[in-house]
Amino acid sequence: MNLIKNKIFHFFTCICMAYAQEVNYLDFEIIVNDDPYPANMFMHNLSHVSPITGTMPRYMAIVDPLMNPNWVVNSGHLGLDFKVQQENLSYFDDDMNAWIILNENMVEVDTLACVNGYHADFHDFQLLTNGGYLLQAYDSISVDLSNIDPGGNTNATVVTLIIQEFDSDKNLVFEWNAWDHLNIANYNYLNLSANFINWMHGNSMHVDADSNIIISNRRSSEIIKIDRENGQIIWILGGPNNQFTIMNDAYNGFNRQHDARRLENGNLLLFDNGNDHDPPLSRAVEYELNETEMTANMVWDFSHPEGYVGLAMGSVQRLPNNNTLINWGRLVEEVGVITEVDPNNNIVLDLKYTDPVYFYRVTKQEWQFETNLTLGDTNLDGQVDIIDLNIIADHLIEEEPNLSIYHLYRFDVNRDRIIDAADIDDLAGRIIGFQ
């Protein structure tokens, strides 16, 4: 008892006017909530405010089916693309240039990185059913482009895309370099006389039903299918090297796209940023592909009644009930918007964030916590006691223990979105019964 009181007294005398740590959960407005697919929503925000000079923090969050943020943590600059794969959680660590894997208990169990001198990139990462995984990276190479184009720069720096596949033992089993399989001369929008050429911008990877790999290159508005054995190009959809006849699409295709995935029915679903449409308009779009006849028949699309244009980023996911979840990316309006529509394009969920944030990718998953979620159990021992009180107090007087960012949400005991003296008071009351 004296130890508790001394800790509380020490806290108040050191902090005086109650130092508080803001936990702002990024408030959102529910525009429509009409029986959406009942699963947790996983997201990680970026901000229109500079991460260096601005004030808007970055959060990883899980919003439950009742639209409550049941797990939120300020991730600082650490992460991107927070999602569920193969019954594990994953996110990209900016500092490590690697992907972090967490199990059902929110415990970090693995770190996955590229080899051969490459740094893994945050745009996508795929855990495979066999325990292996796909990573992507970029490489800047020096190239004499005069051998390709008479006016080409003799010492140009060209950004190319690297795909690496690893088995379950982390052995590299496949590596693909865009430079070896694509001809930069075929990309007629590039200025080959420039000193620096940002050629490739891969933003999604997906293993097709035939085990080959589908990638999305935003820079060229292309979806590219590559042979998983030898790296050869199987086909290209969209962009300057399009090999398909696009049918029943008023826009005659997509541009600046994200998140291209084959569905179980074989169709291709993607988020069409539509930056180059006239007028610009973003949409989710689905094509029926015939890889023999080389046709891409548009069978469904959805654009928001507000006419949103995602300047960058964005994602789309077909849900088990055939609804479609759409994250509109970085909007001109500088707000984050997430929409779910049913097969008839009725909006069943529409969330609009009130802060100037946006999301790279948002997904819904039925993944459930197995870890203890008890508020105040900061040391994860299944009990709320004096040790937890000491940990919160130490955190607030800048004697923070070495805790995973995934467990800091437990400090906000009273759920007022501020970690401060009130949380210590609340927790102490629970422990010794003087409230």
What's the whole-number mean pLDDT along residues 233-243?
97
3-state secondary structure of 371: coil
Between 76 and 367, the higher pLDDT residue: 367
- pTM recorded for the entire structure: 0.86
* pLDDT at 5 (0 to 100): 45
Q: Which of 95, 93, 71 is nearest to 81 (CA)?
A: 93
Does position 312 have pLDDT exceeding 50, yes or no?
Answer: yes
* pLDDT at 371 (0 to 100): 57
- Class of the CATH-defined domain 2-20+373-432: mainly alpha
- Report CA-CA distances (Å) from 31 to 34, 77, 154, 307, 347: 10, 30, 55, 16, 10
What's the whole-number mean pLDDT along residues 1-17?
44
* pLDDT at 341 (0 to 100): 98
Q: Which of 286, 304, 298 is nearest to 340 (CA)?
A: 304
Q: How far apart are CA 140 and CA 157, in angstroms?
A: 6
Burial class (CB in 10 A: 0-12, 13-18, 19+), 265: exposed
pLDDT averaged over every residue in the chain: 87
Between 50 and 246, the higher pLDDT residue: 246
Does position 236 have pLDDT exceeding 50, yes or no?
Answer: yes
Between 342 and 50, the higher pLDDT residue: 342
Does position 22 have pLDDT exceeding 70, yes or no?
Answer: no
Confidence of residue 390 (pLDDT cuts 50, 70, 90): confident
Domain ranges of the chain: 2-20+373-432
Per-residue pLDDT of 162-211, as tens digits, reads 999 999 999 999 999 999 999 999 999 999 999 999 999 999 999 999 99
Q: Are 296 and 245 in contact (CB under 8 A)?
A: yes
Confidence of residue 406 (pLDDT cuts 50, 70, 90): low
